[in-house]
């Protein structure tokens, strides 16, 4: 049997989350450059002298070796490989939010290499103090697009170009349409959609409306179960 | 299997300990019943007694038989310093250093945003009440250097912002006697980032 095809070495990964498994182990949810979301058992990682215990932290690029052909694989090795990234304060909270979104929305064992690179850039953006709302909007949009959900921003449902000063209704899975056509979705200014399509978020109104749009769209795909990390944000601001 | 019902109950009960799976629980149960019945009886009554008499100290939140624990009631401690820690075991470790003589507040956990463990689960309301006494001049955060510990430290610092209390966090770096050649890269990187000025 060709074991080798089940063995991956020196793969760039991020840790999205870990949770206790059996007596001294952890399950780590990895986001890997080549294989997307992969779940591994880190055997003995909760022992006091474990060599990888301190490394199993989120927001750092690590090099991982793992093996196994089932959904739950075995972590065989972990190494530092890049500059240490430091997320502080609200940037750290945003990091948790990104990780929770990914765990909730990304299926396991499907490659999302482009998204991995975008996630990497996003973490770096958070670490150097870029404006959090803008960083989050960009990532949310990229994530939905990577998942294959069409989020059309420069054309309406009938493929007509979006008019900047027109108010539309935006509905998940359909896109922008005339206010008169439906009660579903949310109201949004054409300019916001165009700004988003051009990745331009400097305008305050665009920031506000794009937040509402992404909240609505993510809510549509996430379903009823709320995001824990978002609640923490609310608590912090309250 | 009616005749082993008590055994099954014991095994189930032992599994409430963290990190104890069914196999270990069974091993523990056999050990207690076969080799150490006296110890088992002592364990059982000690647990029953502890549950009965132990509550939380109203000041530091540690386990205590009295409303205020002996550490908080002591006159030898500096009541202007408050060290915030995650678990009672952290208190024992810090006390062993004999290099801190202030007071403590024990959160009894840490924030874990992805597991839904939020501010309400780590007794921050009691910490704020403690700060409202006005005696505390400096709060020292001794949270773990994990992402959860960082998140907790951030949250506590946000709560303290408007209170005009000096806030610090314990330093991190190389271990005592640590040789650069043998230390892990993460620790070394942190030590470099958080380096200390000697003169300028
Ligand atoms: Zn006390």
Pair (B45, B78) in one structural domain = no
pLDDT of residue A2: 45
Q: Where in chain A is the domain with CATH 1.20.1440.120?
A: 89-237
Average pLDDT score over residue span B114-128: 90
Pair (B151, B82) in one structural domain = yes
A52: nearest CA in chain B?
A: B184
Residue A238: which pLDDT band, with cuts at 50, 70 and 90?
Answer: low
pLDDT of residue A226: 86
CATH for B39: 1.10.8.420
pLDDT of residue A23: 80
CATH number of A89-237: 1.20.1440.120
CA distances in angstroms from A232 to A5, A8, A92, A127, A206, listed in the order given? 41, 36, 12, 19, 25
| Domain enclosing residue B28, as ranges | 5-53
Q: Residue B1 pLDDT more than 60?
A: no
- Whether B176 maps to a domain, the answer reads no
Distance CA(B12)–CA(B17), nearest Å, equals 10
More confident residue, B179 or B18: B179
Percentage with pLDDT > 90 across chain B: 71
Pair (B12, B88) in one structural domain = no
Q: Residue A98 pLDDT more than 60?
A: yes
pLDDT of residue A48: 85
Pair (B72, B105) in one structural domain = yes
Of A2-16, A135-149, B75-89, give the lowest mean pLDDT range: A2-16
Pair (B76, B40) in one structural domain = no
**Considering only CB atoms, which residues of chain A are within 8 Å of chain B?**
17, 19-20, 22-24, 46, 51, 54-55, 57-60, 80, 83-84, 86-90, 92-93, 95-97, 99-100, 103, 228-229, 231-232, 235-236
- Whether B200 maps to a domain, the answer reads no
Pair (B34, B83) in one structural domain = no
Closest CA to A61 of A94, A93, A83, A77: A83
Q: Residue A192 pLDDT more than 50?
A: yes
Q: What is the ipTM metric for this complex?
A: 0.84
Pair (B74, B100) in one structural domain = yes
Q: How many CA atoms lie within 13 A of B109 on its CB side?
A: 13
> Which residues of chain A form beta strands (DSSP E)?
7-21, 25-32, 36-42, 62-67, 72-80, 167-171, 175-178, 186-189
User: A213-227: per-residue pLDDT in tens?
Assistant: 999 999 999 998 889
User: B156-196: per-residue pLDDT in tens?
Assistant: 998 888 888 999 999 998 988 989 998 888 888 889 988 98
Chain A residues in contact with B113 by the CB 8 A cut-off are 93, 96-97, 100, 228-229, 232
pTM of the model: 0.88
Nearest to A96 among B151, B157, B185 (CB): B151
Q: Where in chain A is the domain with CATH 2.40.50.140?
A: 7-80
Residue A19 to residue B115, Cβ atoms within 8 A: yes
Q: Which residues pair with B105 in a beta bridge?
A: B84
- Whether B164 maps to a domain, the answer reads yes
**CATH architecture for segment(s) A7-80:** Beta Barrel (2.40)
Q: How many domains does chain B have?
A: 2
């Amino acid at each position: 049997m060709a074991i080798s095809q089940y063995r991956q070495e020196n793969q760039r990964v991020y840790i999205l989350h870990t949770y206790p498994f059996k007596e001294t182990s952890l399950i780590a949810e990895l986001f890997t450059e080549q294989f997307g979301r992969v779940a591994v058992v880190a055997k003995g990682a909760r022992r006091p002298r474990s060599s990888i215990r301190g490394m199993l932290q989120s927001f750092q690029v690590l090099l991982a070796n793992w093996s196994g052909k089932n959904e739950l694989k075995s972590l065989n090795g972990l190494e530092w490989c890049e500059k240490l990234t430091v997320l502080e304060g609200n940037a750290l909270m945003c990091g948790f939010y990104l990780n929770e979104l990914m765990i909730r929305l990304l299926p396991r064992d499907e490659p999302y290499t482009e998204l991995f690179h975008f996630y990497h850039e996003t973490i770096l953006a958070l670490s150097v103090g870029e404006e959090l709302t803008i960083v989050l909007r960009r990532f949310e949009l990229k994530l939905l697009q990577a998942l294959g959900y069409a989020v059309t921003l420069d054309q309406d449902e009938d493929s007509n170009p979006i008019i900047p000063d027109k108010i539309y209704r935006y509905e998940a899975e359909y896109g922008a349409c005339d206010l008169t056509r439906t009660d579903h979705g949310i109201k949004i200014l054409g300019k916001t959609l165009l700004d988003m399509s051009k990745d331009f978020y400097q305008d305050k109104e665009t920031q506000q409306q794009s937040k509402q749009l992404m909240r609505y769209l993510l809510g549509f795909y996430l379903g009823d179960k709320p995001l824990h990390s978002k609640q923490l944000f609310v608590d912090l601001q309250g | 299997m009616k005749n082993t019902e008590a055994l099954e109950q014991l095994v189930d009960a032992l599994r409430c300990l963290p990190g104890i799976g069914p196999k270990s629980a069974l091993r523990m149960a056999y050990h207690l019943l076969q080799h150490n019945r006296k110890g088992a009886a002592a364990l059982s009554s000690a647990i029953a007694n502890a549950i009965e008499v132990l509550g939380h100290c109203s000041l530091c939140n540690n386990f205590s038989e009295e409303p205020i624990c002996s550490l908080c009631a002591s006159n030898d401690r500096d009541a202007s310093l408050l060290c915030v820690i995650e678990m009672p075991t952290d208190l024992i470790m810090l006390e062993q250093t004999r290099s801190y003589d202030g007071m403590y507040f024990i959160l009894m956990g840490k924030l874990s945003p992805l597991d839904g463990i939020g501010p309400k689960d780590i007794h921050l309301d009691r910490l704020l009440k403690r700060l409202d006494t006005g005696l505390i001049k400096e709060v020292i955060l001794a949270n773990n250097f994990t992402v959860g510990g960082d998140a907790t430290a951030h949250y506590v610092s946000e709560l303290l912002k408007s209170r005009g209390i000096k806030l610090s966090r314990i330093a991190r770096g190389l271990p005592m006697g640590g040789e650069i050649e043998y230390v892990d890269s993460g620790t070394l990187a942190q030590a470099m980032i958080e380096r200390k000025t000697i003169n300028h």
